[in-house]
Structures are given as structure tokens and as C-alpha cells.
């Protein structure tokens, strides 16, 4: 399985960066676009790498936040898979900033072959869309800085990820892990039946040196995860804790990782 980084907050020389995330996943002779970032940057990156995005079999949206899905405005006539809750109007509690997608559900349905799933979906022989992530532990997804249009709290129930089965174990791919990266990993293990975790990559939505971050580090340590690649919304000092414990390379626009 190969993962190519098309949009991230930092970049290799010659590539652009943004507050967004887009990964291209190649496995089983199929090509999947996981998130599209905040703009058309992912297209620029693909062009520079000689990647033809017309060959993408399916687009997977991790959740309905602008920095993961506004790049959809630059695509059409593709299969788009996401949680049915991706198109709600959502805001930040502080400042009332709009955080949702530019596209409405109706517009997405006109532009794409739209399929929405709460349940897991077998995308190919070795790749799973995880669907809605159960929040089972006592330290993740306990509070939220977001609200919905009606003023109720938004726990981003549409948050999901991918799980790829490799010879070395399971690779869990997250957009932001609003559901909690540990919850996501446990769900991936149940869905795939693969207990060994080879790698975890993507946003963990952790920024502080606090109880949640330290519990996450301990969970990954106890599982014996050899490769941990926190990116996007994972910032210092939390990022420093992961790097100290697990090492690993930065996730940069233009990079290609093989698992």
C-alpha cells in the first residue's frame, strides 16, 4: 500500500502547503483519494508528481470540515463516499466561524455519485472505510469546541477513517480523529479482524501536553505500534510527545510512504 501526501500543513521543497489534508491511497490496483484539502492544492501536487487524478476510483471524505472537503469544488463525476452527517452546518463556539463544507448535500449529489454510510464498507480486498466510530473509552471525545446550526453541541459524529491491511499489520488513516484516534484504532481492529497495528497516520486533533495526549501515547505504546505519523491538526506540545516516544518522519505535501 502506498500513501501519497497531496495536501498538508507543511511541504517538501517545491510543493505547496495549507491548513488542509489530502492523501492518495494506492492498494489492490485501485486508487482512493482520502480528503481533498481546503483548496485545489491537491491537484497541483498530483500534477507535479505526475499523478492522473482521473484514475481515482473513489473519493473518501473523513468528515465535513472545510479543510478536508472544500477541494471537492475542483472535482466532479466521481464516486464520493462519506458519512450522512458530513453536510450539516457547523460552527466554532468561540467566534461563530463557519467550519462546514462549501457544498450542500444536494450540490454534492448533483456533482458526484454520492454514497453515504454509517456502517463500515469494504472498499477493496485490503482496504476498509470505517464508518461511524464508536466512542468507547473515557478520555477521548468527551467535550467539543463546536456547535451545530441549532446551537446544540457538535461532536463530529461523521468523523471516520480508513484501515488498510498490509503484510506487517493494519495501517489506520485518519483525517482529524475527532472521535479519538484510540477509538478509531479499536474500531478498525474490530472491523478488519486484524489486531496488529503497523502504522497510524493523519490528524490526531491533539495539541496540549495533557491527560488525553498522554493516555493516547500510552495506548499506542502498549499496542507496540512501530510507526506513528501525527500530522495536520496535531501540534506542539502534543506533537513533541509523539516524536519523543515514536520518532518518525514529518508528513509533508509531496511525500510518498510505503507500508
C-alpha cell at 249: 518522519
Tell me the average pLDDT across 143-163.
97
The sign of the torsion formed by the CA atoms of 206, 210, 214, 219 equals negative
Residue 109 clears pLDDT 90, i.e. is over it: yes
State how far the Cα of 73 lies from the Cα of 150, in Å rounded to an integer.
26
pLDDT at 177 over 90: yes
248: pLDDT strictly greater than 90: no
Q: Which residues contact 97 (CB under 8 A, 6 or more apart)?
A: 91
- d(Cα 201, Cα 175) in Å, to the nearest integer? 9
Cell of 135: 466512542
pLDDT of residue 255: 98
- Percent pLDDT > 90 in the chain is 98
CA of residue 64 relative to chain centroid, distance: 11
Q: Which of 135-139, 158-162, 245-249 is the least confident region?
A: 245-249
What pLDDT was estimated at residue 64? 98
At 68-99, the pLDDT tens digits run 999 999 999 999 999 999 999 999 998 779 99
Q: Over 90: is that where the pLDDT of 29 sits?
A: yes
Q: What is the mean pLDDT of residues 102-125?
A: 98
What's the number of CA atoms in the CB half-sphere (13 Å) around residue 68? 27
Full-model pTM: 0.97
Q: φ, ψ for residue 202 (rounded to 5)?
A: 125, -170
3-state SS assignment for residue 217? helix
Tell whether the model's pLDDT for residue 146 goes beyond 90. Answer: yes
pLDDT at 127 over 90: yes
Q: Quick one: pLDDT at residue 92?
A: 95
Average pLDDT score, the chain: 97
The CATH number, out of the four listed (1.10.10.10, 3.60.15.10, 3.30.530.20, 3.30.460.80), of the domain defined by the range 2-258: 3.60.15.10
Mean pLDDT across the stretch 44-57?
97
Q: Looking at residue 126, what is its pLDDT?
A: 98
pLDDT number for residue 94:
87
Q: How far apart are the first and last CA of the chain?
A: 5
CB proximity list for 192: less than 8 A, separation 6 or greater: 128, 163, 165, 170
pLDDT above 90 for 234: yes
147 with 176: CB under 8 angstroms? no
CB atoms within 10 A of CB 57: 15
Amino acid at each position: 500500500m502506498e500513501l501519497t501526501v497531496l495536501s498538508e500543513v507543511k511541504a517538501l521543497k517545491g510543493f505547496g502547503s495549507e491548513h488542509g489534508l489530502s492523501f492518495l491511497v494506492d492498494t489492490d490496483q485501485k486508487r482512493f483519494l482520502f480528503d481533498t484539502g481546503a483548496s485545489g492544492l491537491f491537484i497541483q501536487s498530483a500534477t507535479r508528481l505526475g499523478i492522473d487524478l482521473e484514475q481515482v476510483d473513489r473519493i473518501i471524505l473523513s468528515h465535513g470540515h472545510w479543510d478536508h472537503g472544500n477541494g471537492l469544488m475542483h472535482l466532479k463525476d466521481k464516486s464520493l463516499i462519506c458519512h450522512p452527517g458530513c453536510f450539516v452546518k457547523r460552527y466554532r463556539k468561540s467566534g461563530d466561524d463557519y467550519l462546514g463544507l462549501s457544498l450542500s448535500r444536494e450540490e454534492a449529489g448533483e456533482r458526484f455519485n454520492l454514497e453515504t454510510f454509517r456502517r463500515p464498507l469494504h472498499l477493496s480486498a485490503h482496504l476498509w472505510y470505517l464508518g461511524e466510530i464508536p466512542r468507547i473509552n473515557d478520555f477521548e471525545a468527551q467535550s467539543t469546541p463546536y456547535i451545530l446550526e441549532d446551537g446544540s453541541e457538535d461532536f463530529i459524529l461523521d468523523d471516520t477513517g480508513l484501515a488498510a491491511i498490509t503484510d506487517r499489520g493494519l495501517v489506520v488513516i485518519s483525517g482529524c480523529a475527532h472521535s479519538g484516534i484510540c477509538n478509531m484504532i479499536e474500531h478498525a481492529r474490530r472491523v478488519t479482524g486484524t489486531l496488529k497495528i503497523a502504522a497510524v497516520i493523519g490528524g490526531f486533533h491533539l495539541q496540549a501536553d495533557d491527560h488525553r495526549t498522554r493516555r493516547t501515547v500510552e495506548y499506542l505504546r502498549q499496542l507496540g505500534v512501530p510507526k506513528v505519523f501525527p500530522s495536520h491538526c496535531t501540534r506542539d506540545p502534543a506533537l513533541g510527545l509523539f516524536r519523543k516516544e515514536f520518532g518518525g518522519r514529518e508528513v509533508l505535501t509531496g511525500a510518498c510512504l510505503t507500508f
